[in-house]
Amino acid sequence: MGALKNIVIAIFVLSLLTFVALFGQLPALRKTPIGWLQQALFVHIPNALKRVDQKVTGGRIIVKSKRLGHYLFYERNPIVLIIFLILLTGSSGLFLWHAIHLLPTSLLLPIPLLLGLPYYFTYLCATHTSHYITTLNLNYRLQGYPFDHILYHPGPQCRTCALPKPARSKHCSLCGHCVAKCDHHCPWVNNCLGRGNYRYFLALLLSLGLLQLYGAYLSYYLLYPYFLAHRNRNVLFKRGYWSELGEAMAYAIHRGGLPIAGVGLLAASTAAMPLALLGYHCYLIWAGMTTNESQKWADWRDDMGEGCVFKASRKALKAHNRARRGSEDDEDGDAVGAVRWPVESDQVVVRTNDGEPPVGQEGLWTRVWSLGDVENVYDLGGWDNLVEVLRGR
C-alpha cells in the first residue's frame, strides 16, 4: 500500500509541476500563485543554485548544465517528443496488456480510434513545413494578413532569414525559419505551430484529452466492483463513513496495481492538462490572437495602464506629414500590395517613453487606456476566427 501511496503522490507532484511549467508564464496567470511558483522554480531557485555553485566549484556545474539546458531548450531536438511518445505508448501498452481480456467488446471497440488519433495528429504537427517562410512562398505569405500598425508594421526584415517579415509571422531560432502566423514553438511535437498545423495541434490536444478520459473510465470500470465489494454501505454523515470509503478505494487501487490503477490515476490526473490547454487556445481563437500575439497584447495592456500609449488616424497622420513636407509623395510602405482582408482599420498606435504624445503632432494623438480602445484587425468574430483556424489559416 505504501508504494501505491508514493505513486499517487508522485503523479500529483508531476502533474502540478507540468501544469506550472506549461501555464505559469501565461500573461493571465502572471500575478497568481501559479505564476509565482513558476518564477520560483524556473528563475529564483536556479539563480540561488548558481550562486552556490559559483562558490563551491567556481561555476563548473553551471557551465555543463547550461550546455545541456541549451541543447534541451534552445536547439531543435526530439527529446521531449520521444519522452511523450514513450509515456503514451508505455502507459497505454501496459494498461491494455493487463486489461484487454477483462473488458467487454463494446468497450474495446473505440480503443483503436482513440489511441490512433493522438499519434496521427502528433505526426501531422511534427512533419508540417509549409508554414516556414522561404523566398519561394514569401509573396504569398505577405498577402496572408494585413499589417495592423500595432503589433506588426510593414518594413522590418528578419536578420537571420534576410527576408521581409509578413504580418503575424515570427522568426523561430529553433526551427531556423520565419513562421507564418506563428503561434509558438512546441517541444512536444518538435516544431513550430503556425499557419496550417495549428489546427492539428488543437486536434492533438482534444484527442489526447479524450484518450486519457477514456483510459481513466476503463480503469474505473474494472476497479469499481472491488470498491463495492469492500464497502459496508455506511450512511453519509455517520461516523466512520469517510475512513471506510478511503479503505474501499485503497483496496480497489491495490487490486488494480500499477498497470490498471496506476495508469488510470495518471490518465485521470493529467487529462485536465491537454483539455485546459485546449480551453486556453479556444479563448485565444475567440479573441482573434495567437499565443505570440497574446504576449504582445499583454505588454500593450501594461503600457496602456501606465498612460504612455497613444492612437491616431493613419490618414490624418499622412495628411499632416504631406502638409509639413509640402509635397504629395506618399512614403508609407503600407501602400505596397494591399492585402484583401474583411476588416479595415485606419488606426496606428504608439508607446512613448515620456508618457507624452509624439512631439509636434499633439493634436493628432489620443491617449489609450485599455485594449478595448484599439481594434484587433485579426479578430473577425469568434465563430469566423474558428472557421479560419479549422481551414488552416
* Catalytic site positions: 186
Contacting residues for 252 by C-beta, under 8 A, at least 6 apart: 223, 224, 226, 227, 230, 261
Question: Would you say 295 or 313 has its CB closer to Zn ion?
Answer: 295
Do 223 and 261 touch, CB atoms closer than 8 A? yes
Q: Compute the Cα dihedral for 245, 246, 252, 256 and give only its sign.
A: positive
One-letter amino acid at 339 equals: V
We find the least distance from the C-beta atom of residue 313 to Zn ion, in angstroms, to be: 32
Beta bridge partners, 313, equal: 347
Q: What is the DSSP letter of 164?
A: B
We find the least distance from the C-beta atom of residue 239 to Zn ion, in angstroms, to be: 59
Instruction: In whole angstroms, give the CA distance from residue 19 to residue 8.
Output: 16
Do 322 and 328 touch, CB atoms closer than 8 A? yes
Instruction: In whole angstroms, give the CA distance from residue 287 to residue 293.
Output: 11
Question: Would you say 204 or 218 has its CB closer to Zn ion?
Answer: 204
Question: Would you say 149 or 185 has its CB closer to Zn ion?
Answer: 185
Question: Would you say 187 or 256 has its CB closer to Zn ion?
Answer: 187
Do 216 and 150 touch, CB atoms closer than 8 A? no
Instruction: In whole angstroms, give the CA distance from residue 118 to residue 102.
Output: 24
We find the least distance from the C-beta atom of residue 201 to Zn ion, in angstroms, to be: 12
Beta bridge partners, 108, equal: none
Question: Would you say 75 or 344 has its CB closer to Zn ion?
Answer: 75
Do 347 and 311 touch, CB atoms closer than 8 A? yes
We find the least distance from the C-beta atom of residue 160 to Zn ion, in angstroms, to be: 5
Question: Would you say 175 or 374 has its CB closer to Zn ion?
Answer: 175
We find the least distance from the C-beta atom of residue 192 to Zn ion, in angstroms, to be: 3
Question: Would you say 197 or 385 has its CB closer to Zn ion?
Answer: 197
We find the least distance from the C-beta atom of residue 178 to Zn ion, in angstroms, to be: 3
| Nearest residue to 269 via CA among 210, 205, 216 | 216
* Long-range contacts, 297-304 (Cβ 8 Å, 24+): 297/27, 297/151, 297/371, 297/376, 298/27, 298/30, 300/150, 300/349, 300/351, 300/371, 300/374, 301/370, 301/371, 303/351, 304/368, 304/369, 304/370, 304/371, 304/373
Note the residues at the interface with Zn ion (CB under 5 A). Answer: 158, 160-161, 171-172, 174-175, 178, 185, 192
We find the least distance from the C-beta atom of residue 188 to Zn ion, in angstroms, to be: 12
| 234: phi then psi, degrees, rounded to nearest 5 | -70, 145
Alpha helices, H only, 109-197: 111-127, 138-142
Contacting residues for 303 by C-beta, under 8 A, at least 6 apart: 309, 351
Instruction: In whole angstroms, give the CA distance from residue 337 to residue 144.
Output: 11
Question: Would you say 171 or 199 has its CB closer to Zn ion?
Answer: 171
We find the least distance from the C-beta atom of residue 129 to Zn ion, in angstroms, to be: 11
